Structure 1
Amino acid sequence: MTRLSNDRLNALPADVQKPDYDRAAITPGIVHIGIGAFHRAHQAVYVDDLLKDHPDWGIIGASLRRPDTKDALDPQDGLFTVAVRDAAGTRCRIIGSILEVIDANAERERLLTIMAHPKIRIVSLTVTEKGYCHDPASGELDTKHADIVHDLANPTAPKSAPGLIVEALARRQAAGIAPFAVMSCDNLPANGATAKRIVSRFAALRDAALGRFVAEEVAFPGTMVDRIVPATTDEDRAFVAEAIGCEDAWPIMTEPFTQWVIEDNFPNGRPPFEDAGAQLVDDVEPFEHMKLRMLNGSHSTLSYLGYLAGFETVSETVANPDFKTLIHDMMTREIMPTLDMPGTDLNAYRDALLERFSNPALKHRTWQIAMDGSQKLPQRLLGTIRDRIEAGEPRVRLTLGVAAWIRYASGIDENGAEIDVRDPLADRMHFLGQGAHTNPDAMATAFLGLAEVFGEDLPNVASFRQQLVTLLGQLLHQGALATVETVVNGPEG
């Protein structure tokens, strides 16, 4: 079958939406680091909507770890399909906003040259929590991280996202070129402030004057991003090929819902994101908290409990009445009281989330969401737990999410089979779980010793520790299904 490409656009079926602009006239204004599935389902679509009237905001993508995306998109002239799925069917759209993908490992100097060019006014990131080379519990740069150690020793040949950004900014400063804005689109609390703290600290470790320049002159607008994007399967590729009449090596499957809230802080210019449906605000933090705690916290809880209970997808998990009630009550009773968002209907947001989780066409795998839990838990669950502890309020459902993560991360499922745990701390966690599967107290003690996850405070909160041990014991001895039923029907705790 013929591959998707510029030459094939006019031959695509009439019901497939195509770029409404001349791609040859598009020039880059954004470099995006971490060009994975989420970026292509989210930011790349917003930019695609704007290029007809604003052709100087095309995207140059960069992959830090693997050339997979480059290998898939290069033969397709950067084009790819976004397939939007719900119960009513699937709608395909071809996105043309990505002009090129650069493999940072093989083309590092070329990437830095592009980032240092005046036409690049925004560098955005979706590198996941672990890509920031930070301590998730504190949010500070991890100066012992192997990539950071390398980049400080080899500042002009960096491997990490902070290293690349700082080297490009240093080159712009030396050439008298205004700095680009650094826009984090990752699920981090206060992601703009977090990115600024990490990048500024790295710059200061390189050179004190450079650190002051980054801290004082570079804008780090915060964002809140939201769209559910499952991993693409071979079945998905076959479906898209049939729908568009040609092969797409890496289409993106997603839901109809999309949201982007952006702090309006771009001294060197930006596209009119609001014309594509984004919301520009002065302070994005309340929206970040709402999304991280209600959507991401619930998603993680569903993924660990659902996987342990034998459910392959989120929609299968939430179709179980007890699991749906658990998540509804967790959001209503334990998460929403920690949010301060006057004018926002949190009940409606909760109901919309439950409807999105229930989308049977999305097939979002619990195992996929479960990845990198050690990096995600501090933002998604533990901050909310801290707020509930401080307020002296119940948090049993939130704590169950943490217990389910520990049970999952220990590496053995309820049938005694090995779990393929994908996490930067996977080896350590597997070691911690060895021999502790019949002793919840020992397992809790071992995992609470992960200071980079739990900090120094939570392990010393006796009520939290005891509740965690109790719930772990239930998961170990009764299983996830029975434990969820017990919590749903039990007293507040």
Structure 2
Amino acid sequence: MKQAIHFGGGNIGRGFIGELLVRSGYEVTFVDVAETLVDEINARHAYHIEVVGNEPKTIHVEHVKAINSNMNLEELLDAFVTADIVTTAIGPNILKFIAPNIAKGLARRVKKNEAPLNIIACENMVGGSTVLKNFVYEHLADDVKAKVDRCIGFPDAAVDRIVPIQHNEDPLLVKVEPFCEWDVDRTGVVGAEPQIEGLTWVDNLEAYIERKLFSVNTGHASIAYMAYLKGIEDIAAAMQDEEIVSFVRRVWAETSELLIEKYGFDREKHAAYIRTAEERFKNPHLSDAVTRVARGPKRKLGAKDRLVSPASQLIERGKKPEALATVIAAALRFDYADDPEAVEVQNYVKEHGLEKAITHFTEIPAGTELFDLILAKNAELKK
């Protein structure tokens, strides 16, 4: 069998990337530091995935094993020599911590095997593989870097699958939604593109990153902030509220116009993508607390993030993003006391006023069309 190394034995690793790799003929070695998890995988060499939704099903996944990188580093380094692909799903903040071991593994590999190898970071971030590559190169000797440049690819990826918060009696069981998407930039590949079921190789990854960000993430945030203002506690309940559903469809209408105009997405196919997103949020098995989805307003209000970026781009194209401006105003009113970022935003508003807060958190200049639109929408929300 082909050999895959996957960093991260958690729910995304087992319930998404690992399963697609096994389905595509790979034996998957999960790399983790959770001793109990590693031991359980090695005791069974298999686990189950439950797909939850209108058509539930159970998937049996086998041909798996695990390495504890804290206890069996030599085994991990040897695995790099024969690996056919390396993937990660560990969280953006952990990439720098696995980089030293990846660097050691690559140094051992290129001494013995110069066959092409691609390393794909499947993280909820932009340019994850490139970020990982930079961390790895910090730990490579110059002569090794030259070989790695020739043999090792770090193609960036965009991934999307909702894995709900869960507490299962079986420690290896993972519950996931039916939908999943894994897009990878073919321009970053070294050698032939690995053929993996469920993975789509694309020429313009930015288009797919923004499609996901401005559709799924923007929609999710929009539902959460508007639901919070109405006192609704979870996303599935919010999606039973006709006013909120109607509103998020207006948000999607705005972002859809931007994406279709900017990237040339087929209008009917994109409409189907939006309908799928709406059904995902209606799935009661995937419902999340409104306050958890809305958390981190400081980050979500960033100039390049899910709310301000599409609104700004629409303004540049001569369009008026009424719904997006409303969400931005609602995010600035998110005052959940248990969220440190929400507290920070509210304290800034109290101390400096809303107008300065808008520019401080969104980088939208005072007096611009979008700035004035947000102020107007805030006044409407007050009523």
Do the two structures share a fold, i.e. TM-score over 0.5?
yes
Choose from 85, 109, 114 the match for 2:73: 109
Q: Secondary structure at the match of 1:361?
A: helix
Query: Quick one: which of 44, 58, 71 aligns to 1:92?
Result: 58
Q: Which residue does the alignment assign to 2:14?
A: 40
User: After the TM superposition, which of the residue ranges 322-331 and 392-401 deviates more from structure 2?
Assistant: 392-401
Specify the alignment match of 1:122 in structure 2: 85
Q: Is the 8 A contact 1:203 1:210 kept in 2?
A: no
* SS of match in other structure, 1:304: helix
Q: Name the counterpart of 1:221.
A: 155
Partner of 2:5: 31
CA–CA separation in structure 2 for the residues paired with 1:372 and 1:210: 40
Pair 1:291 & 2:212 matched: yes
Larger RCO, structures 1/2 (Cα 8 Å, 6+ apart): 1
Find the aligned partners of 2:318 and 2:75 in 1 and give their Cα distance: 50
Please show how residues 78-477 of structure 1 align to structure 2 within 5 Å: 79-88=46-55, 90-100=56-66, 102=68, 104=69, 106-107=70-71, 109-110=73-74, 113-114=77-78, 117-131=80-94, 160-173=97-110, 177-178=114-115, 180-189=117-126, 191=127, 195-196=129-130, 199-200=133-134, 203=137, 217-233=151-167, 237=168, 247-264=169-186, 266-267=189-190, 272-273=195-196, 276-339=197-260, 340-343=263-266, 345-370=269-294, 378-408=304-334, 412-413=335-336, 418-419=337-338, 421=339, 426=340, 430-434=343-347, 436=349, 442=353, 445-446=356-357, 448-449=359-360, 454=362, 458-459=364-365, 462-471=368-377, 477=382
Q: Relative to structure 1, is the Cα distance of residues 394 and 128 closer, same or farther in structure 2, using a 3 angstrom cutoff?
A: farther
Amino acid of the structure 2 residue aligned with 1:463: E
The one-letter amino acid of 1:291's match is K
Letter of the structure 1 residue corresponding to residue 27 of structure 2: G
Change (3 A) 1:290 1:206: same
How far did 1:294 drift?
A: 0.9
Structure 1 residues 353 and 429 mapped into 2: Cα distance closer, same or farther (>3 Å)?
closer
Is residue 29 of structure 2 the alignment partner of residue 60 of structure 1? yes
Aligned residue type for 2:184: I
Structure 2 runs not aligned, ≥5 long = none
Tell me the TM-score normalised to structure 2 length.
Answer: 0.80
Deviation for aligned residue 1:362: 2.8
Contact persistence 2:47–2:62 (CA under 8 A): yes
Cα–Cα, structure 1 residues 68 and 434, in superposed 2: closer, same or farther, change >3 Å? farther
- Report the CA distance between 1:87 and its aligned residue: 3.4
Alpha-carbon distance between aligned partners in 2 of 1:111 and 1:449, rounded to the nearest angstrom: 49
**CA distance in structure 2 between the partners assigned to 1:208 and 1:447 by the alignment:** 46
Counterpart-to-counterpart distance in 1, 2:148 and 2:367: 38
Superposition TM-score, scaled by structure 1 size: 0.64
Cα offset, 1:163, TM superposition: 4.3
Counterparts of 1:405 and 1:310, CA distance in 2: 14
SS at match of 2:52: strand
Contact 1:183 1:223 (C-alpha < 8 Å) held by counterparts: yes
Structure 1 position 120, deviation (Å): 1.7
Contact 2:312 2:370 in 1 (8 A): no
